[in-house]
Every structure is written in C-alpha cells, then in structure tokens.
Amino acid sequence: MKLLLISNSTNAGEEYLRYPLPTIATFLQGIKEIVFVPYAAVTFSYAAYEKKVQARFAELGIRVRSVHRAKDPRKMIREAEAICVGGGNTFALTKKMQEQGLMSAILRKIKAGTPYVGWSAGSNVCCPTICTTNDMPIVEPASFKAIGAIPFQINPHYLDANPEGHAGETREQRILEYIEANPRRWVVGLREGCILHYEEGQLQLIGSRPMRIFRKGQPIREVVAGDDLSFLYNK
C-alpha cells in the first residue's frame, strides 16, 4: 500500500495545499492523472472543489478527475492511476461514498498498490471507522465503517487545549472516551502541519510537531518524525 494521510489542507496564512504540496509531489512522482472524491464538500459545489484541487495539482502536472462527474464512480476508481479524497465534513463524505460503493472499491485499489492521498476527512475515511472525526454529523451514513486501509484511528487537526473561556471537553478527553469504549484500538492525534506516510510496509511521520498516541491501559505518549511507528499495526 501507498498512503499519504495529511492532517489539514492549509496552514494558517498559507495558500490552499501549499505546505503538503512538496510531499505530495514526491509521493505522486510519475502520476499524470488522479481520481478525486469531493463528497466532503457541503457549502460549495463538487465542481468548485474539483477546480480548487486541480489548480494546485496543475503545478505538479497532474490532471484531476472527480467521481461526481462519472456515470459509474466505482469504474472510475477501478481504473484510477491514483486516488485523492479531500477534506470537509466526514459524515457527508462517508454517506455518499457508502451510497456509491466507493469504500470497498477504494480498499481494493489501495491493496493493489494504487497511491492514495487524503487530508482531514480524507484521512479519517482511511481508518477502520470515522469515529474519531471532529465533525458534526449533519447527515446520517449507513454506518461509521470506513475504508479500513489502516488498523488505527486518526484524529486530524489535533489540538492540545480548548480556546480560552471554553469549559467543554478537550480533544484529549474526547479521545479518552473513545478508547474507553474501544480498548483495542490505537488513536493518533495528528497535529496540523503533519502527515503520515505509509509505503513498503513502513509508517513515517512527516512534520515538525510530535504526534500524540492513545490506547486504553497505556500512558499517553508522543512520537516525533523518525520514531518507530510499527506498533500501530499491532493489535
């Protein structure tokens, strides 16, 4: 499998997809066309999303083709040279992907070696479930089950504290609730500006910030780029 799972598309004050673009370029070297899944878009159209991503990928010489234009989206996935799933609302994305049978179609392609790039919601749906998303369930998917290309959960945009004056649960507390209910699952808090790269059986953290690791019965720990992450594939 070849996976590039990005926490966020845009760092504060930067252009869209600017910070991860060099990593995406290396990951997709030699790719001329990528199939894009835009279904996390809610307040703007799929066509607008496709255009936005195409504008950035054009810098890499890669054509973007969105599944929303296909009569048979699964066929487009089956024939894809590479696959990209964008961020937005994870529940909207999951519902549409489930309705079109894209979860299983993408998993088969990933297992066959087709490169996969996702950010935010697009990283969430690569997990076993979408249960560690930060998003509001604005629509109801058939289930929380996702692609399942990796055996652990990702919490993108991970934050260490709440805004000043907010007395609600922290992100850490929410994840602790999750692992209490799901004691066999690892959860990684992927901070903004960070990327997980999986290829040739090796998982690598890319970015200057550490990644937070949660599992029931174990102390919370942090890892940095270069650390061994193979334990995330152990049950």
**Cα separation, 169 vs 77, whole angstroms:** 39
68 tagged catalytic: no
16 confidence band (pLDDT: 50, 70, 90):
very high
**Cα separation, 6 vs 120, whole angstroms:** 6
For residues 162 and 184, which has the higher predicted lDDT (pLDDT)?
Answer: 184
- What pLDDT was estimated at residue 166? 75
Is 161 a residue whose pLDDT tops 90? no
Out of 9, 66, 123, 135, pick the active-site residue: 135
> Could you tell me the residue range of the domain that residue 210 belongs to?
2-233
Mean pLDDT of all residues in 104-126: 97
Q: What is the pLDDT of residues 197-221, one digit of tens each?
A: 999 889 999 999 999 999 999 999 9
- What pLDDT was estimated at residue 163? 72
Out of 104, 157, 197, 227, pick the active-site residue: 157
CB 40, CB 93: distance < 8 Å: yes
Sign of CA dihedral 141, 73, 87, 45: negative
**Total domain count for the chain?**
1
Pick from 108, 117, 115, 119: nearest CA to 40 = 119
- What pLDDT was estimated at residue 30? 96
120 tagged catalytic: yes
CB 107, CB 153: distance < 8 Å: no
Out of 7, 66, 120, 123, pick the active-site residue: 120
CATH number at residue 122: 3.40.50.880
CB 127, CB 118: distance < 8 Å: no
